[in-house]
A and B are shown apart, each in its own frame.
Chain A
Amino acid sequence: MIHSLFLVNSSGDIFLEKHWKSVVSRSVCDYFFEAQERASEPENVPPVIPTPHHYLISVLRHRIYFVAVIQSEVPPLFVIEFLHRVVDTFQDYFGVCTEAAIKDNVVVVYELLEEMLDNGFPLATESNILKELIKPPTILRTVVNTITGSTNVGEQLPTGQLSVVPWRRTGVKYTNNEAYFDVVEEIDAIIDKSGSTITAEIQGVIDACVKLSGMPDLTLSFMNPRLLDDVSFHPCVRFKRWEAERILSFIPPDGNFRLLSYHVSSQNLVAIPVYVKHNITFREGSSQGRFELTLGPKQTMGKAVESVLVSSQLPRGVLNVNLNPSQGTYTFDPVTKLLSWDVGKINPQKLPSLKGSMSLQAGASKPDENPTINIQFKIQQMAISGLKVNRLDMYGEKYKPFKGIKYMTKAGKFQVRT
């Protein structure tokens, strides 16, 4: 399966390599660099690159390419999924997954990779098991380790790997038993020029942070489970129970995990919480263009639209912009032509707007297309699909846990065509 792994930073240096079978020379990455050069954007590097003797499968995250070298037929998604799992684990361990963090923790990284793959086949990818094997570094522990000479490697043996619930480590103890669930929904939408919705769908996830002692068995039920059209579960969820009663019943892993991701059936009309009024024009012959943008809330059920961020890739012909935001700040990068406007909160009484002019390259013809506007926003305490958790019950343990549920709606890939 996976022969070797190379980590390549954005400037094209290999800063870490790990081999699970015989050593593969790092020159194999030259093919990758070739592809990288050919691609106009970092994202455009093809995920699968054939070379004469190997195949390179890469993922790009946090501006690091994780390049896996494989030698024979394997489902590409298998490798891709695994690489993403590696990144998630690093993020989980080090808080961020950057080149610096990996370099600083190279020993932990190596220990992790050693446990995650055996002979190229995934061995332990559950974060609960890994954390039993290798303790994540914290500042306190680093200090203690240097003084006492103790290590990050867990002393006890990872019994979790052998249990029937491999995702949960054993012997969990907390003084405050608490379980928090975040219902986060994202709206993916494409809005056309005239403001009508071309496509809109809601994707949601329930992220959990469960800190409960012992071996709790939780059930979570919804007021309106029918809304969930397509779901995927963390392995802990009992599928049959869901099929039968539309109840999530599970023994949770310890700590943070994604319990469920779902898709709200596309038949339901999606409420679009913001609207955009825009007027972007380029005039033939003149070197000036007009830019006007106004945002407003709609269908927000009384909740405030916050953390609004508007970004747009302006046409190449635009040299600079001179805009005037009614609130927030904007930036324009004359090299990448990326305009971004940090709006903040939308005040329904005084709608935020960004108006002004763009200066175009002299003599250049007017761009064919108006730029697409990407919008990000957050709405707290509301799940736009109307999904509601009914109740959360715990069995199997005596204590009374503290339970909390938070709802949030965010913009996913929210685009307005102009």
Chain B
Amino acid sequence: MDEGFFLLREDGVGVVKTVLASAENLQLSFKFEPGVEEVALTNSNGSKKEAPGIGNEDLKEMLESNKESLKLEAMKRIVGLIAKGKNASELFPAVVKNVASKNIELKKLVYVYLVRYAEEQQDLALLSISTFQRALKDPNQLIRASALRVLSSIRVPIIVPIMMLAIKEAATDLSPYVRKTAAHAIQKLYSLDPEQKEHLIEVIDKLLKDKSTLVAGSVVMAFEEVCPDRIDLIHKNYRKLCNLLVDVEEWGQVVIITMLTRYARTQFLSPWREDALFDENSEKAFYDSDVEKEKADSKPYMMDPDHRLLLRNTKPLLQSRNTAVVMAVAQLYWHLAPKQEVSIVTKSLVRLLRSHREVQYIVLQNIATMSIQRKGMFEPFLKSFYVRSTDATHIKTLKLEILTNLATEANISTILREFQTYVKSQDKQFAATTIQAIGRCATNISEITDTCLNGLVLLLSNRDETVVAECVVVIKKLLQTQPSQHSDIIKHMAKLLDNITVPMARASILWLIGEYCERVPKIAPDVLRKVAKSFTSEEDIVKLQTLNLAAKLYLTNSKQTKLLTQYILNLGKYDQNYDIRDRTRFLRQLIVPNEKSGALSKYAKRILLASKPAPVLESAFKDRDRFQLGTLSHTLNAKASGYLELSDWPTVAPDQSVRNVEVMEPVKEWAPSLGKPKATKSDDKFYSDSGEEEEQEEEASESGSSGSSSSSSEEESSSGSGDESGSEGGESSSSDSEGTDKSSSQSESGKKKKPRKKPSKADVKDSDSDDAKEKKRPKPKLDSVSSHSKASSSSDNTASSGSESEEDTDSDSEPEQKKKKKLSSKPQVQEKPKKEVSLLDLDDFEPMPASAPKVPILSPSLLSDLQGLSLSSASSAIEVSSPVFVPPKSHELLHRMSGKGLAVSYHFPRQPCAYSHRMVSVQLTLTNGRDQPLEDICVGEAGPPGIAIHRFATIERLQPEASITVSMGIDFNDSTQAANFQLCTKTDQFSVSIQPAVGELLMPVTMTEQDFLKEQGQLTGMNESSVTITIAPDSMSSQPVGRKVVSVANMGVVPSSQNSIHRFAAKTVSSGSLVLSSVVLQEASTAKLVVNTEKTVLGSVLLRELKTALSQG
């Protein structure tokens, strides 16, 4: 091997040098390290510049020695060479040998070298491949990832198949970090060999489905690079990406937001229509009118919930510290949000102006484009764009541009005052730009044109020539727009001609005088006389205008100027510049009548003195909006390579259902061909059945207590789920969209009737719920289930076959429920069909009619998607199970004294919340301790916006000494943060807060022991917290341990094969992250308590609580 490398050397001196160097090394190795370095340094200093060959020789020696430190030193110097851009490729053989080194730093430096030079030394680079292939199989994920990273960075076409294989393998790796690396490798492979595109798209598709936030950004990047046109790959992942967005690392966020902007422009209808309804509140209105308007021809604009989801989920990112993220969100809002909402990005953009100069530059450019179309957005921040003397010139110019764009009649006086300061600036270029800006303001706002003109005329006496010249040019333009009686200004300018030397300004004056020569009949010929004298020494542009002036004067005042004109034309005839000669010839033919040019010269006056359209002074950013904001193309105002156009909004809404995610694969797989006709059929039944009933009930509920608000919220929730069901049907059967629409509207109305049956049942449940709970937890639920299933099966007699009801379930928006049902208790299996019918009407579990005065923050259809996500992220064997019964612990919410007689307590019933699967259900018991009835008890302002609260319906009247139990849903977001809200009665308001115990934020799940161990294996490291505790002696048997754990936390018991180990599993309600806990009993009353969850904080709190519970007697 070594010999081979020696042979590779080309320089003849090599051998001698090697001997010398090795002798030196021998000597050195007896010395101590610092000496080595010294020699190395002197060597490098001496040799590198003059004779690189010799220096490299020396490095080669060092690399081939067997001392790690020498090798390392050599590699460091080689990296130094690379950094300087020097060629070190001849060392390749010597370096590549060290690729398998044990020393991490050495290895890393070798990687750096390898990646840099592999392209040039392809054959030798192959020697290293096997090392990486081996490392790809390493049990450590980080080593696997780094191997893939380097392997894919080696740009050697021969290894493309190896890379492809490695990428495919890594894309299915268990570690998200490796999968992320795979996503990066996709782009590298694509740039190396675009032929692989199809295969790579497959991998991208697979990785897009990934649930990990680590992967999301990278794979979208790969998508953008490889197949940005394959929008269809995004559909199914759209909602997931929206929901993951906040947790993705910042660079990934930028890429995803940009991609989603393009996506949304192709998939949603324009929210910019005249009749569109905009603000968040009107979402409710839109749901309200949903059903009726659907059929109407001119339906108002309704924002697709997915569109809203995107806007909502990107909004918090405006608070990012990363300016690129903020800009990305701003452009997303600009391109996608209804006009009214765009202005929320203003503040954040203005904040970015405090950042580095380069950031300011880009942001100001974008603001400039925005401010043309939407003055209102930035007008309140006018002062933030005031120029400081320390700003860089391009920043100043941009600020000026924005100030000009923002000028209105109201603020023009302040702006002009500010401009006056700028005109005096020492930076004359900037002063000149200011004058242009003044000109633009003057044309845009007619009220101030005169003021501006006067101001500019004053500036004509400025000492600086560039300023004056610019003034002249601007005045010329202004006068042209207002050719009224400004002859005195023209006279003034004629006087200036003696002093001004800037050609552009002189030309402008001449043009002005020529154009308005009839207004200044006395001066004009005199001016001509003056310029005729200096004609030969003028610039070309001035000469041309002189010719023009002469011609115009000749036509209007030939008596005085005939000779002058002829003189000038003669001069022009022999000018050096052919343009001027041309012009002279042309003018002479035109104005001096002779035989040849008879026809034209008649019209000479009309040709030369035609009234000219006034120039429009407009912003340089006028048409920048053809580019997507925030892009490189926008900055350059030219299409950059690889720029992807934003498409226009579609005129017809594309199918929304494409974004629906199959929630439960097993159910889906099942006989899709059967499903379609039957589903429609049963829906039909629903519809026809409920037709009249619906109307009646509409009235009933109208007259009923909660009135329109309750019905609206019902409709809202049902429309959400209906939506879902319709589209699911469409999906499974790939039916046409019409059918989908129909079925969805049908199922909506079908569902609508259900909630109205609730009150009676719910009351029953309520009244017995308290004592029922004492007895056995699951019972009340079963009760309502069975009672209800009867009701619904009667209303739906035709839906007798199991498959049909299954289909119904499928369309349900609460898949968790479904799963739970399937697995919870075996005795129920026989009555499966019935039960599932009832499941459809999940709302019926609610003790009170589903009525919220306000729209919940997340609409149900979205929730169901979320749920689908979180569910499928867990392995299929993990199912939500019913909670183990524990006596409920009641907590006080409002004391009788502070509540002026109203006492409220709450407890966690540990049932899945019916309003939303992300919510924890809470039951409030309200007692009236006063002697008068309390009226209109409701939930008022709900505190933290991060916490979603599903309110209970307003309690009309609570008699003295009576008590009522209502239930609420609260999405605590997996934190133990308290939910604050106000309880309002007719007369009072009480602020209360519910602080959940951590154990209540969980939902029990069942899983096998194997699954448990597998999941636990993945949640190690940071995600694991453990403690050894002393257990009260009576808990050493299995029962008490289980009971204690379950009393603290709503967890499911996992069957265990060993007696001394108890395992419990749950997932968090809000995000569905797994929470695993195990108690290993050891000798002497000690036990090891372990909690594994990605929610580290939650985990540690839970650990503490479990610890206290277990160590107590």
State the A residues within 8 Å of B (CB): 1, 14-19, 21-23, 26, 40-41, 43-44, 46-48, 50, 55, 57-61, 70-78, 80-82, 84, 106-107, 109-111, 114, 118-119, 121-123, 125, 146-147, 149, 151-155, 157-159, 161-166, 170, 188, 190, 192, 198-199, 201, 203, 215, 217, 229-235, 238-241, 243-245, 249, 251, 258, 261, 263, 266, 313, 315-316, 365, 367-369, 371-372, 374, 395-396, 413, 415, 417
B404 nearest CB across to chain A (Å): 18
B-side contacts of A146, CB under 8 Å: 33-34, 37
- Beta-carbon nearest neighbor of B629 in chain A: A75
Question: 15 interchain pairs (CB within 8 A)?
Answer: A58-B358, A59-B356, A59-B358, A77-B324, A121-B251, A151-B72, A163-B1021, A164-B1095, A231-B319, A244-B980, A369-B426, A371-B426, A372-B388, A396-B1101, A417-B421
Q: Once the chains bind, are A232 and B319 in contact (CB under 8 Å)? A: yes
Q: Once the chains bind, are A26 and B85 in contact (CB under 8 Å)? A: yes
Partner of A149, one of B69, B943, B1094: B69
> Does B83 sit at the interface, judged by CB under 8 A?
yes
- Complex-state Cα separation, A233 to B351, whole angstroms: 12
Partner of A73, one of B111, B221, B632: B632
Partner of B33, one of A59, A123, A147: A147
- Beta-carbon nearest neighbor of B1097 in chain A: A217
Q: How would residues 71 to 112 of chain B score, 1 for a CB under 8 Å from any chain A CB and 0 otherwise?
A: 010001001101111000000000000000001111011011
> Does B176 sit at the interface, judged by CB under 8 A?
yes
Q: Once the chains bind, are A234 and B321 in contact (CB under 8 Å)? A: yes
Q: Once the chains bind, are B359 and A151 in contact (CB under 8 Å)? A: no
Q: Which of chain B's residues 43-89 have a Cβ closer than 8 Å to chain A?
A: 68-69, 72, 76, 79-80, 82-85
B-side contacts of A266, CB under 8 Å: 381, 383
Partner of B250, one of A47, A155, A235: A235
Given A164-B1096, A417-B421, A190-B946 contact (CB < 8 Å)? no
Known: A80-B358, A368-B464. 7 other contacts (CB 8 A): A47-B362, A48-B361, A81-B323, A84-B358, A111-B112, A164-B1095, A244-B944
Q: Once the chains bind, are B389 and A233 in contact (CB under 8 Å)? A: no
- Complex-state Cα separation, A315 to B425, whole angstroms: 10
> Does B142 sit at the interface, judged by CB under 8 A?
yes
> Does B448 sit at the interface, judged by CB under 8 A?
no
Given A78-B324, A122-B251, A232-B320, A47-B361 contact (CB < 8 Å)? yes
Mostly, the A contact residues are mixed
A-side contacts of B1096, CB under 8 Å: 164-165, 215, 251
B-side contacts of A16, CB under 8 Å: 83-84
Q: Once the chains bind, are B184 and A119 in contact (CB under 8 Å)? A: yes
- Beta-carbon nearest neighbor of B643 in chain A: A73
B-side contacts of A258, CB under 8 Å: 321
Listed from nearest, the 5 A-B pairs whose CB atoms lie closest are A244-B944, A240-B946, A72-B642, A151-B105, A199-B383
B-side contacts of A251, CB under 8 Å: 1096-1097
Partner of B176, one of A162, A192, A217: A162
Partner of A244, one of B108, B116, B977: B977
Given A26-B85, A48-B632, A72-B640 contact (CB < 8 Å)? yes
Q: Once the chains bind, are A118 and B383 in contact (CB under 8 Å)? A: no
Q: Which of chain B's residues 306-357 have a Cβ closer than 8 Å to chain A?
A: 316, 319-324, 326-328, 347-348, 350-351, 354, 356-357
B-side contacts of A153, CB under 8 Å: 104-105, 108
Mostly, the B contact residues are helix
A-side contacts of B316, CB under 8 Å: 239-240, 243
Q: How would residues 389 to 406 of chain B score, 1 for a CB under 8 Å from any chain A CB and 0 otherwise?
A: 110111000000000000
- Complex-state Cα separation, A110 to B76, whole angstroms: 10
> Does B187 sit at the interface, judged by CB under 8 A?
yes
A-side contacts of B358, CB under 8 Å: 47, 57-60, 80, 84
- Complex-state Cα separation, A161 to B109, whole angstroms: 21
Q: Once the chains bind, are B389 and A313 in contact (CB under 8 Å)? A: yes
Given A118-B149, A231-B319, A43-B392 contact (CB < 8 Å)? yes
- Complex-state Cα separation, A230 to B348, whole angstroms: 7
> Does B370 sit at the interface, judged by CB under 8 A?
no
Q: Once the chains bind, are A50 and B636 in contact (CB under 8 Å)? A: yes
B-side contacts of A118, CB under 8 Å: 149, 153, 181, 184
Q: Once the chains bind, are A125 and B251 in contact (CB under 8 Å)? A: yes
- Complex-state Cα separation, A44 to B393, whole angstroms: 6
* Residue with the greatest number of chain B CB neighbours at <10 A, chosen from A244, A313, A367: A244
Q: How would residues 969 to 983 of chain B score, 1 for a CB under 8 Å from any chain A CB and 0 otherwise?
A: 000010101001000
Q: Once the chains bind, are A73 and B633 in contact (CB under 8 Å)? A: yes
- Complex-state Cα separation, A123 to B671, whole angstroms: 45
A-side contacts of B394, CB under 8 Å: 44, 46
Q: Once the chains bind, are B351 and A107 in contact (CB under 8 Å)? A: no
B-side contacts of A152, CB under 8 Å: 105
> Does B462 sit at the interface, judged by CB under 8 A?
yes
Q: How would residues 165 to 199 of chain B score, 1 for a CB under 8 Å from any chain A CB and 0 otherwise?
A: 00000000001110001001001100100000000
B-side contacts of A235, CB under 8 Å: 250, 320-321
- Complex-state Cα separation, A48 to B357, whole angstroms: 12
B-side contacts of A60, CB under 8 Å: 357-358
- Complex-state Cα separation, A215 to B977, whole angstroms: 18
Q: Once the chains bind, are A41 and B79 in contact (CB under 8 Å)? A: no
State the B residues within 8 Å of A (CB): 33-34, 37, 68-69, 72, 76, 79-80, 82-85, 103-106, 108-109, 111-112, 116, 119, 140-143, 149, 152-153, 155, 175-177, 181, 184, 187-188, 191, 214, 218, 221, 246, 249-251, 254, 258, 316, 319-324, 326-328, 347-348, 350-351, 354, 356-359, 361-363, 381, 383-384, 386, 388-390, 392-394, 418, 421, 424-426, 462-464, 630-633, 635-636, 638, 640-644, 943-947, 973, 975, 977, 980, 1021-1023, 1094-1097, 1100-1101
Given A163-B1022, A415-B390, A22-B155 contact (CB < 8 Å)? yes
A-side contacts of B347, CB under 8 Å: 229-230, 263
- Complex-state Cα separation, A233 to B426, whole angstroms: 39
Given A76-B362, A233-B321, A239-B246, A157-B1100 contact (CB < 8 Å)? no
- Complex-state Cα separation, A151 to B72, whole angstroms: 9
Q: Once the chains bind, are A50 and B324 in contact (CB under 8 Å)? A: no
A290 nearest CB across to chain B (Å): 19
- Beta-carbon nearest neighbor of B644 in chain A: A73
Given A55-B632, A232-B321, A14-B85 contact (CB < 8 Å)? yes
Partner of B946, one of A147, A230, A233, A241: A241
Q: Once the chains bind, are B640 and A73 in contact (CB under 8 Å)? A: yes
Q: Once the chains bind, are A201 and B384 in contact (CB under 8 Å)? A: yes
- Beta-carbon nearest neighbor of A15 in chain B: B84
B-side contacts of A61, CB under 8 Å: 356
Partner of B326, one of A232, A249, A367: A232
Given A215-B1096, A232-B326, A243-B944 contact (CB < 8 Å)? yes
Partner of B356, one of A82, A84, A217, A395: A84
- Complex-state Cα separation, A215 to B111, whole angstroms: 34
Q: Once the chains bind, are A107 and B356 in contact (CB under 8 Å)? A: no
Q: Once the chains bind, are B636 and A149 in contact (CB under 8 Å)? A: no
A-side contacts of B642, CB under 8 Å: 71-73
B-side contacts of A154, CB under 8 Å: 104
- Complex-state Cα separation, A80 to B325, whole angstroms: 12
Q: Once the chains bind, are A74 and B251 in contact (CB under 8 Å)? A: no
Q: Once the chains bind, are A232 and B1021 in contact (CB under 8 Å)? A: no
* Residue with the greatest number of chain A CB neighbours at <10 A, chosen from B328, B392, B642, B1100: B392
Given A75-B631, A151-B72, A107-B359 contact (CB < 8 Å)? no
Partner of A240, one of B251, B426, B944: B944
Q: Once the chains bind, are A244 and B348 in contact (CB under 8 Å)? A: no
Q: Once the chains bind, are A315 and B426 in contact (CB under 8 Å)? A: yes
B430 nearest CB across to chain A (Å): 11
Given A72-B641, A75-B630, A43-B328 contact (CB < 8 Å)? no
Q: Once the chains bind, are B320 and A233 in contact (CB under 8 Å)? A: yes
Q: Once the chains bind, are B977 and A241 in contact (CB under 8 Å)? A: yes
Given A59-B356, A199-B386, A245-B944, A170-B1022 contact (CB < 8 Å)? yes
B-side contacts of A59, CB under 8 Å: 356-358
